[in-house]
Amino acid sequence: MNAPARSAEAAALASFADEAWDERIVPAITDYIAVPAKSPMFDAQWAEHGLLDRVVTDAARWVEGRGVAGLKLEVIRLPGRTPVIFFDIPATRAASAGSSDTVLLYGHLDKQPEFNGWRKDLGPWTPKYENGLLYGRGGADDGYAVYAAITAIESLDKQGIGRPRCVGLIESGEESGSPDLPTYIEALKPRLGDIGLVVCLDSGAGNYDQLWLTTSLRGMVSGVLKVEILTEGVHSGDSSGVVPSSFRILRHVLDRLEDSASGRLLPQGFHCEIPAPRLAQAQATAGILGDEVWKRFPWACGADGGPSLPTTTDPVEALLNRTWRPTLSVTGAEGFPELGNAGNVLRPYTAFKLSLRLPPLVNGHEASVQLKTLLEDNAPYNARVTFHPDGRAGQLGATGWNAPELAPWLEHAMNSASQAHWGAPVGYIGQGGTIPLMSMLQAGFPKAQMMVCGVLGPKSNAHGPNEFLHVPYGKRLTASVAQVIAAMP
């Protein structure tokens, strides 16, 4: 195929994506944002509330309503587990000799909780479309994915561009660590076929000026660390100095894990060697993004009235810190009264929700077991110290992912798509978040290529206040996915 024909096809795909987003996708995601379909970790009564079922049913109905030729869709609900959408669309071109490869498209529909700090005219469940940005919880992470995936396939079929078989797996437990996904993958494995390409639309972008391919993802161990020292609160004037503070004990326990002065995680088992290709990619990406790697965050005023400072202003080190080094965050606390009700009482217990991000090559389950032992053994003052990691028995923590070597066809296809739809080459970036599916699929389909990308660019703020979906980027990404699928050999 010559270059002018490719350009004509790219223009047609872009035109279709633009129209689909404006007329069908933005309205569908607007409705989706309004539903507080929180992940099971944040809504223990998710089954009774029915909100996950609602967004799954709405998305399934939308997909079926597009009338894609040959599409078969099923909403699967295994007992006690969050529902998934599975769809199967036959190929529109003859398979290559000896090849029956399938494209697997992935997304999720469950959401993070509300969080606070939203702009006065915004809210997590009150969608607002403003200057190309669609605000609200879950639109960018990751409600748009199923709509974009189907639109990419539909655009190829409408243009008469041949493509391989495509299957879709849209889950509703990703924000809880995907505890149900292994069971579904095992149940669906005979129907998935030979996966040659995975398209995951749950990742991010270094900027909005080019297509970005995610090359690695961190793993995660999360859970609740609790220190109990009393059966009830007691007067601090009467007891302090005799009864140790549960908060101080908790700090002491955390000192086993983290150097509080530098933030470095102390156990060597939570670290791994950074592969040379990833170092080289971090250097190249730092050359593209520069100081925006750290300047893009909403820094508060510091001690001198200027902005607070990052852990490093070196863009390369900042990229590696957020993608290939372990970090600890405290994301919640319990056992504290509101400030207005904080009397002079020594509290009986302190509990923290911990989020430990792991390098891509560290096993999440093994790290979870190691962390529990580290925190609970030899408790100071014989206090009751417990750490309860999130996840199901046998699957505690989530393992990260390091992309396989990029096949020449995929590298060429993604670069061509980026040039066609942005006029810039594809960028390569590691991401600090976790998508448990990727390590599962890497193990189950070791020969598959991985196109992991997404709309979560600067200031899109997934999980936090003012999350937004960058619609112009979503349009270009949809056309790019279509172009890459068509290029699969």
Angle made by CA atoms 391, 396, 397, in degrees to the nearest 5 = 95
Query: Measured between alpha carbons, how far is 468 from 489 in angstroms, rounded to an integer?
Result: 35
Task: Provide the pLDDT for residue 5.
Answer: 41
The residue ranges of every structural domain in the chain are 3-217+400-487, 220-272+324-396
Distance CA 103, CA 239 (A): 64
Report residue 6's pLDDT band, with 50, 70 and 90 as the boundaries.
Answer: very low
Question: Do 115 and 464 meet the contact criterion of CB atoms below 8 Å apart?
Answer: yes
- CA–CA gap between residue 411 and residue 451 (Å, rounded): 10
Selected residue with higher pLDDT from 162 and 6: 162
Confidence of residue 71 (pLDDT cuts 50, 70, 90): very high
Neighbours of 414 (CB within 10 A): 25
- Tell me the average pLDDT across 350-359: 98
Output the pLDDT for position 268: 96
262-298 per-position pLDDT tens digit: 999 999 999 999 999 999 999 999 999 999 999 999 9
For residue 167, give the amino acid letter: V
- pLDDT attached to residue 104: 97
pLDDT of residue 100: 62
- Mean pLDDT, range 348-360, rounded to an integer: 98
The model's confidence at residue 323, banded by pLDDT at 50, 70 and 90, is very high
Mean pLDDT of the chain: 94
Rounded CA gap, 322 and 359, in Å?
9
pLDDT tens digits, residue range 121-139? Answer: 999 999 999 999 999 999 9
Sheet of 384-389: strand order equals 327-334, 349-358, 219-228, 384-389
**pLDDT above 70 as % of the chain:** 97
Mean pLDDT of 301-322: 94
Looking at residue 4, its pLDDT comes to 39
- Residue 228, phi then psi, degrees to nearest 5: -115, 130
d(CA 189, CA 369): 29
> Which residues on neighbouring strands pair with residue 327, listed in sequence order?
357
Contacts of 356 by beta carbon, 8 Å cutoff, 6+ apart: 220, 221, 222, 257, 265, 270, 326, 327, 328, 329, 367, 371
**Lowest mean pLDDT: which of 140-149, 391-400, 448-457?**
391-400
- 327 — phi, psi (to 5°)? -140, 150
Of 34-48, 250-264, 429-443, 446-460, which gets the smallest average pLDDT? 429-443
> Please, which pLDDT band fits residue 95 given cuts at 50, 70 and 90?
low
**What is the total residue count of the chain?**
489
Q: How far apart are CA 85 and CA 140, in angstroms?
A: 19
User: What residues form DSSP beta bridges with 375?
Assistant: none
Asked if residues 187 and 322 have their Cβ atoms less than 8 Å apart, the reply is no
Say if strands 401-402 and 195-200 run parallel, antiparallel, or are unpaired.
unpaired
- Provide CB contacts within 8 A for 148, sequence distance 6+: 25, 201, 474, 477, 478, 481
Homologous superfamily (CATH) for 3-217+400-487 = Zn peptidases (3.40.630.10)
Task: Tell me the average pLDDT across 82-100.
Answer: 82
Q: What is the predicted pLDDT for the residue at 99?
A: 54
**How far lies 411's CA from each of 92, 147, 227, 416, 451, in Å?**
23, 25, 50, 9, 10
In which band, very low, low, confident or very high, does the pLDDT at 302 lie, cut at 50, 70 and 90? confident
Tell me what pLDDT residue 114 has: 97
How confident is residue 97, by pLDDT bands cut at 50, 70 and 90? very low
Any idea which architecture 220-272+324-396 has in CATH?
A: 2-Layer Sandwich (3.30)
Of the candidates 274, 285, 286, 270, the residue with the CA atom closest to the CA atom of residue 327: 270
Give per-residue pLDDT as tens, 206-234.
999 999 999 999 999 999 999 999 999 99
101 preceded by cis ω (within 30°)?
Answer: no
